[in-house]
A = this chain, B = another copy of it.
Amino acid sequence: RRRGFSESVFCEGKTEAQLLAIAAQLDSKSPVLFTRLEESLAQQISLAYADQPFSYDAVSKTALWGERPAPDPERVVAVVTAGSADIPVAREAERALEAEGVTVLARYDVGVAGLHRLLAVWPDLEAADVIIVVAGMDGALPSVVGGMARQPVIAVPTSIGYGAHFQGLAPLLTMLTSCAEGVGVVNIDNGFGAARLATQIVRLKKPHARAGGA
């Protein structure tokens, strides 16, 4: 498998027929992650491949098909969100991490307009190897987290907002120009991509395992 990841299928804009055709070609021995999958389509696919566990998550619109690996306690990625409206993107990241056997630590709605919320969860976050920060609106949270954390920080802007937010442009620019050092940014709403980068990072901790896992 390419780059040591399990398969993923980006479902947006694909018809049921196309998705069934893709699924038919997939290797049922390893987990497959479907992203941006509408619930009605998920049901069709699950019917067709009833021999394998198939779990659909309506919040993130993702489906995981096949056996999910056990979470590795030595590979921990925290996922935090600024608001509750950012949770679907965060959940997409979490599902992609879980598909790779990464342990997830999620904390939601800790945006900077109420700093006490972030400070309250901070001790938990310290245990993580990598922190993924998901934020819409002004996208200010990664700057604060990035200023506090010793771990690599991955920032995900979301399309949550209106007006001068321009569908996520505002938090995207905020994150790219962050005054915190060394924040890596992915595309707007791309929880999946953040999870992939985080997975590659935590694999560095036990490279032998990485080789074995691929």
Contacts and interface: CB of A to CB of B under 8 A. Distances in A.
Nearest to A139: B174
Interface in A159-190: 159-190
A14 to B, nearest CB: 7
A112 B144 contact: yes
B147 A204 contact: no
Interface string A138-152: 111001101111111
Interface stretch (A45-53, A61-69, A193-201): A193-201
B143 A179 contact: no
A129 interface: yes
A154 interface: yes
Q: How many A residues are at the interface, by size bracket? A: 35 or more
B112 A200 contact: no
Nearest to A83: B179
A152 B210 CA distance: 12
A188 B102 CA distance: 31
B85 A152 contact: no
A5 interface: yes
A137 interface: yes
Nearest to A184: B184
